[in-house]
Structure 1
Amino acid sequence: MSLDTVVEDIRDEARARAEEIRETGETRADEIVSEARREADDIRSEADREVERTIEQEREQKLSSAKLEAKQARLEARREVLEEVRNDVEAQIAEIDGEERESLTRSLLDAASEEFDAGSVRVRGSEADAELLASIVGEYDGFEVGEPIDCLGGVVVEADGSRVRVNNTFDSVLEDVWEENLRDISARLFEE
């Protein structure tokens, strides 16, 4: 065998080995690229799912926030309507006059007078009712008209010698009736 043949055999073997290494390298490179693509697809899919979850959470939060704002706006509107109704009722009560006002004032004073024994008792009411109170209070022994107070009508009765004070103003009666019936009033106004 000649040296040229040996050299040529070594070259052929080296070329074959180089081709085998290149093919193995290409196969391994293809596997690495495929694995990298799968991982990239997995990462992209997970990122897409995470984005969808984030979007859904934000949508839910915004929806909840919008519902809460709407509920607050509805409650505020109801509160305003109830306040208007209450103001209308107060205005109608303030306009009560004549025999009806006298009868109501007399009834409130009768109810309050039951809490007091003989002695000096002061009856206070609206400045507009000064004459009415003077005419009614004269019928009660030991009762006198005191300084006017800011109210829609009715009476506040106080005894000098005790801590007893009875508030039978139209305002206090309205407050009691309003609180007792607020749920029914609301239900009727807003058809609940």
Structure 2
Amino acid sequence: MALDAVVEDILATSKSKVAEINAETEQEVARILSEARERAAEIKSRKEAEAKHDIEALVRREMSSANLELKRAELNVHKEVLEQVRIKFLDAVTNLPKDKNEALIKKLLEPYDLKDMKVYSSKRDQAFVSSLVPNYGGTLDIIGGVVVESKDGSVRFDHSYETLARDIFNAKVKEVSKLLFG
């Protein structure tokens, strides 16, 4: 019977060791699972934050792009309107009544000593301008106004309506734009 007691003692010790090992294993498994869950939660949280940041950045880029596109479209509309204003201005200058056109031409010629200058005009104004100046240079392809040139051609003053309109328009484009678009 002593052998049975030894076997039982060994079995009891073995069962105790197995139970102890199982308990340690369960604790280790629980610890590993807990750490894995914590890491998974950290990774999930980090990825969610990254995704949120990426979404916010994408929204900002899209908004910026949309605003830029809107500004471009608005600028194009402004350019078109300004071009229409410029064309209407040129049309109005082209169609000045005869008396106003002649008065304007006289005003344009006032600052010059015309005996030392050649004066060019549009075909429409040829008769009038040639009657005013001693040295009529001929006609140019302009809608109106005059071009005054030194006899040797070294100095030229372009007072054609196109040039005057362009200069006035360029000088006043900000004011015109402000009036039209606020």
* TM-score computed with the length of structure 2 as normaliser: 0.92
Corresponding residue of 1:89: 89
- The CA RMSD over aligned residues, in Å, is 1.6
Counterpart of 2:178 (choices 156, 162, 187) is 187
Corresponding residue of 1:64: 64
Q: What does the per-residue CA deviation read over 1:15-70, in whole Å, with 9 as the maximum and x for residues that have no partner? A: 11011101110111011001101110110010000000000000001111111111
SS of residue matched to 2:140: coil
- List structure 1 segments (4+ residues) > 3 angstroms apart after TM superposition: none
Is 1:178–2:160 an aligned residue pair? Answer: no
Corresponding residue of 2:136: 144
* TM-score computed with the length of structure 1 as normaliser: 0.88
Is 1:169–2:165 an aligned residue pair? Answer: no
Corresponding letter in the other structure for 2:72:
Q
Corresponding residue of 2:27: 27
Corresponding letter in the other structure for 1:95:
N
Shift in Å, 1:100: 1.2
SS of residue matched to 2:125: helix
- C-alpha distance in 1, partners of 2:157/2:130? 18
> Gapped runs of 5+ residues in structure 2?
none
Contact persistence 2:120–2:148 (CA under 8 A): yes
- C-alpha distance in 1, partners of 2:179/2:6? 112
SS of residue matched to 1:128: coil
What percentage of residue pairs aligned between the two structures are identical?
32
Contact persistence 1:133–1:145 (CA under 8 A): no
Contact persistence 1:109–1:168 (CA under 8 A): no
> Gapped runs of 5+ residues in structure 1?
none
Shift in Å, 1:162: 5.1
- C-alpha distance in 2, partners of 1:50/1:169? 65
Tell me the number of residue pairs that the alignment of Structure 1 and Structure 2 aligns.
Answer: 182
SS of residue matched to 1:62: helix
User: Which 10-residue stretch deviates more, 73-82 or 178-187?
Assistant: 178-187
Corresponding letter in the other structure for 1:126:
S
Shift in Å, 1:81: 0.6
Shift in Å, 1:173: 2.0
